[in-house]
Amino acid sequence: MLNRLIILIPIFSIVLSLSAVMYVALSMDPTKIESPLIDMPLPIFSKVDVLHPKKNVTKASLLGKVYLINVWASWCASCQLEHHNLLKYQKQYPFKLVGILYSDHISQVLPLLVNKGNPYSALVDDPNGDFTIKLGVYGTPETLLIDENGFVMKRFIGVITDHDWNDVILPELKKSANTNDRLK
C-alpha cells in the first residue's frame, strides 16, 4: 500500500508545479519586460529588402527618423494578432516600419501580406536567425523603437498593443516629425 502511495508523490508534484506555473501565468502580463538593450546603438547592417529587391536596407539609410523594427514570422500566432494592429496604426499615422522575418519562408509570407495587407516599408529575410540574434531579440513578435541616430529607445516584447502605440510610440513619432519640420 505504502509503495503504491509513493508513486503518487512525483505525479502530485509534477501536476501541482505545472499548475502553479499556470496560476502565475494567469496573473502575468506577458508584454511588459525591460531590456538592457535600451540606449545602445544598433549594429551596422546592410540587407536586401524583400519587397523591393533592388534596394538595400542599411543602418545609414534609416537614420534621421524615428522608426520601428518588428521581428515576426508567419508561423507565429501572436504575430497574426499584431499584424492587424500594425495595419491599423499605419492607417492612423503612417510611419517607417522595418520587418524582419525570423526563421520563415518568403513564399509563406507574401500571400499573407497580400491577403491581409502590408504594414511594412521594408522587409528583411533572416532565415537562420543570425541578424535577429545580433539585434538581441529572442522570440517573436518583438519590436524595437529606434531613434533618429540609430539608438534603441524602447523594446516591446510580445504583441504591440493600443496602449503601447498611443502612450509610447505615437508621441515619439510625432515629436520626431516636429523636430524635422523645424529643421527644414
What is the rounded distance in angstroms from the CA atom of residue 85 to the CA atom of residue 39?
Answer: 26
Continuous H helices in 28-169: 59-62, 77-92, 106-116, 130-134, 162-164
> Judged by CB under 8 A, which stretch of 17-25, 46-54, 57-65, 163-171 contacts another protein?
17-25
Taking the least distance from each CB to another protein, the nearer of 31 and 176 is 31
Query: What is the closest distance, in whole angstroms, from the C-beta atom of residue 120 to another protein in the complex?
Result: 13
The CA-based angle 157-145-75, given to 5 degrees, is 45
Taking the least distance from each CB to another protein, the nearer of 60 and 133 is 133
> Judged by CB under 8 A, which stretch of 27-35, 38-46, 147-155, 165-173 contacts another protein?
27-35
For residue 126, report the phi and psi dihedrals to the nearest 5 degrees.
Answer: -135, 75
> Judged by CB under 8 A, which stretch of 46-54, 93-101, 136-144, 176-184 contacts another protein?
136-144
What is the rounded distance in angstroms from the CA atom of residue 49 to the CA atom of residue 97?
Answer: 12
Contacts of 84 (CB under 8 A, 6+ apart): 116
**Site residues (CB under 8 A) for another protein?**
4-5, 7-8, 11-12, 15-16, 18-19, 21-28, 30-31, 33, 73-81, 103, 107-108, 110-112, 114-115, 117-118, 138-141, 157-159
